[in-house]
Chains A and B, each alone.
Chain A
Amino acid sequence: MAATAALPRDRRPVKWSTPLTYVLALAIAAVSIAPVLYVILGGFRTTGQIAADPASLPRPWVWATYANVLKQPTFWHELVNSTIIAVATTLGVVVLGVCAAFVLSRYQFRGREALYTYFTLGLLFPAAAGILPLYLLLRDLSLADTHLGVIIPQVAFQLPLTIVILRPFLAAFPAELEDAAYIDGASRLGFFWRILLPLSRPALVTVAVLAFVTSWNAFLLPLLVLQNESLHTLPLGVQNFSAEHSQDTAGILAFTSLAMMPALLFFSFAERQIVGGLQGAVKG
């Protein structure tokens, strides 16, 4: 069932709808993106322009503000740091999550449901509740002020959701598929590696995208763990920049819009995966 969720459900020709639908949809879309457009366009104005007329288009268009941000090594360092942390987190979550979900979905053993429930405990309370003792733990493990100190806890916090999404997906493959693999001489791990993993690609992409976006946007954990500015990620960078250049409204707007670009582009490409994956997760 989950496997079909990613497929288009409806192949009938799409019709134009009533004008009212469009008016409402346009209004909603406008409210959603107007502030974002304001930030992007604001980066093309000078702080003087913004102060004189806070709500208007750039006149003339100024490219220097964006250019200045792009010339700052800090921005690029933070981009690299965010990428390292997000990619490593995603890899860790997917690898650990799919291994655990495989066992929890296709092995029969005493304590299986208990183990699954144990993992889902992580969904019952917010990550923030453990953040202070987590920081102390990381400090004692000498992981404070390292990228690993952000990556490993992020993997841990993302695991419950990942397992909850992957387990029904892996369980949905018919037993005949597994039996056929054994008859062909595959071991259980061979079945997992050669058959289940390739077939699970849609679900794996979904959990990967969710982990990536969550890590990319994370603020509280990096804020506590990464004191050293050279390790800072983009969300911390946005905050630093706005604190250090509080008079430079145009600069903050330019920095903020550049910082949100990767997430926006990534989302535009992955939207189908996110929505399709949640579709499978909402009703597996």
Chain B
Amino acid sequence: MTATDRSAGLAGRASARPASPRPVHSGRAARTRRKWYEIIALTGPAAIVFTLFVLTPIVFAIYYSLYKWSGYGWPTEFRGLDNYIGPYGAFRDPIFLDGLRNNGIVIVGSLVIQGPLAIAIALLLNRRFRGRAVFRLLVFIPYVLAEVTVGIMWQLILQPSGTVDALLTDAGLGHLITGWLANLNVVLWTMLFILTWKYTGFALILFLAGLANIPDELTEAAAIDGASWWQIQRHITLPLLGPTIRIWMFLSMIGSLQLFDVVWVASTPAVRSLGASNTMATYMVDHGFNQREWGYGNAVAVILFVISFLAALLFQRFVLRRDIEGAQTRRAR
């Protein structure tokens, strides 16, 4: 944004020097060349690493997905789109479709539960009160813990006749006890609960950051005009938090689509293989990596990629459009 006028200024200075032996033009050409060397040297490594390890694998996934392949040597058994829509293709496998549905439930459940919850907590923790910093630190903790830690933690807490069951019995609610991680009708909701516990803190971090950017003058002016706390939140704070909320929705959606760790650790392979708790990502690793069906696994990877990419583009096009200017995104993990 500032570079052009500077090179013009320097060139002007050079030409003003009468003793300058070099013609102006070769000096400018040398500077331009030098500028391009710098551009290439500084962005090159990042561009190469990014291209090679983030984008290239997707291209290879498309290629591999057209083959039946055990992963050794170069794939030779061309199968066209069989891995997608053939009789044994992903879209004909009810377990994969279960995974797809589970991803959908997690996306919607995360948005519907974590969003309002985090907004409420953010509004609460955005009030100025003594000890606020400590509370903020505490509510962020679940987000910082590793997914594996969280999975194992809840697996132990929810194990049969474990802590949750004991607490429920003590509270006289023993009849509610079920196989939280084994009951095929319940396990997905247990996962959703664990994810809510873990990721509400992430929404909260973003929302608190967004709230901090809302100038105090606005809310103070409204308060002077006689607006109540609720009116201020409803008519000033929330609308101004809109861009942050929409970015969070985007990140949450991408995060839910690639859900793997918590489900992998907290639910058993048997439960997953029955379609009760599996996601596209766990299904992909189960088949592609563990069962060495590389072509098929890559087909699942491509489906995951296409769904995510389309969802992201549609979201950008229709929801984030007005926020793109100045607003940035962060990937949830």
Contacts and interface: CB of A to CB of B under 8 A. Distances in A.
A271 B285 CA distance: 34
A130 B52 CA distance: 11
Contacts of B54: 122, 127, 130, 153, 156-157, 159-160
B61 A132 contact: yes
A249 B35 CA distance: 61
A57 interface: no
A10 B56 CA distance: 47
Contacts of A160: 50, 54, 331
B10 interface: yes
Contacts, number: 347
Contacts of A157: 53-54
B3 interface: yes
Interface stretch (B21-29, B175-183, B294-302): B294-302
Contacts of B149: 235, 238, 256, 259-260
B139 interface: yes
A122 B49 CA distance: 12
B81 interface: no
A53 B165 CA distance: 11
Interface in B184-213: 197, 201, 205-206, 208-210, 212-213
Interface stretch (B84-92, B94-102, B156-164, B230-238): B156-164
Interface stretch (B108-116, B129-137, B270-278): B129-137
B130 A275 contact: no
Interface residues of A, number: 112
B30 interface: no
Contacts of A130: 54, 57-58, 61, 301, 305
A12 B127 CA distance: 13
Interface string A250-282: 001100100110011001100100110011011
Contacts of B132: 14, 25
Contact of A182 (B6, B128, B254, B312): B6
Contacts of A252: 152, 156
A128 B304 contact: yes
Nearest to A219: B261
B36 to A, nearest CB: 8
Given A17-B127, A35-B197, A54-B162, A242 B209 contact: no
B222 interface: no
A107 interface: yes
B243 to A, nearest CB: 7
A173 to B, nearest CB: 9
Nearest to B49: A156
A132 B4 CA distance: 44
Contacts of A218: 333
A99 B42 contact: yes
A106 B205 contact: no
A263 B145 contact: yes
A177 B331 CA distance: 32
Nearest to A30: B138
A195 interface: no
A238 B152 contact: yes
A132 B156 CA distance: 30
Contacts of B313: 124
B206 A133 contact: no
Contacts of A121: 55
A256 B152 contact: yes
Contacts of A126: 254-255, 257-258, 281, 304, 308, 331
Nearest to A235: B148
Contact of A137 (B50, B60, B305, B328): B60
Nearest to B302: A129
Contacts of B71: 136
A29 B135 contact: yes
B49 A152 contact: yes
Given A217-B147, A253-B156, A259-B149, A129 B58 contact: yes
B328 A165 contact: yes
Given A132-B289, A217-B146, A29 B139 contact: yes
B320 to A, nearest CB: 11
B156 A133 contact: no
B58 A99 contact: no
Given A14-B129, A35-B157, A99-B42, A124 B49 contact: no
Contacts of A275: 136, 140, 205, 208-209
B105 interface: no
A22 interface: yes
B210 A282 contact: yes
Interface string B286-323: 00110000100110011011001100110010000000
4 smallest beta-carbon distances between A and B, as pairs: A126-B258, A17-B129, A175-B2, A130-B57
Interface of A: 5, 9-10, 12, 14-17, 21-22, 24-25, 28-29, 31-33, 35-36, 38-39, 42, 51, 53-55, 96-97, 99-100, 102-104, 106-109, 115, 118-137, 152-153, 155-157, 159-161, 163-165, 168, 171, 175, 178-179, 182, 188-189, 210, 213-214, 216-220, 223-224, 234-236, 238-239, 242, 249, 252-253, 256, 259-260, 263-264, 267-268, 271, 274-275, 278-279, 281-284
Given A17-B130, A279-B213, 13 more contacts: A24-B124, A38-B153, A128-B304, A132-B285, A133-B56, A134-B57, A153-B54, A155-B49, A219-B261, A219-B264, A260-B145, A263-B144, A278-B209
7 contacts: A132-B289, A132-B294, A137-B57, A156-B49, A259-B149, A278-B209, A282-B327
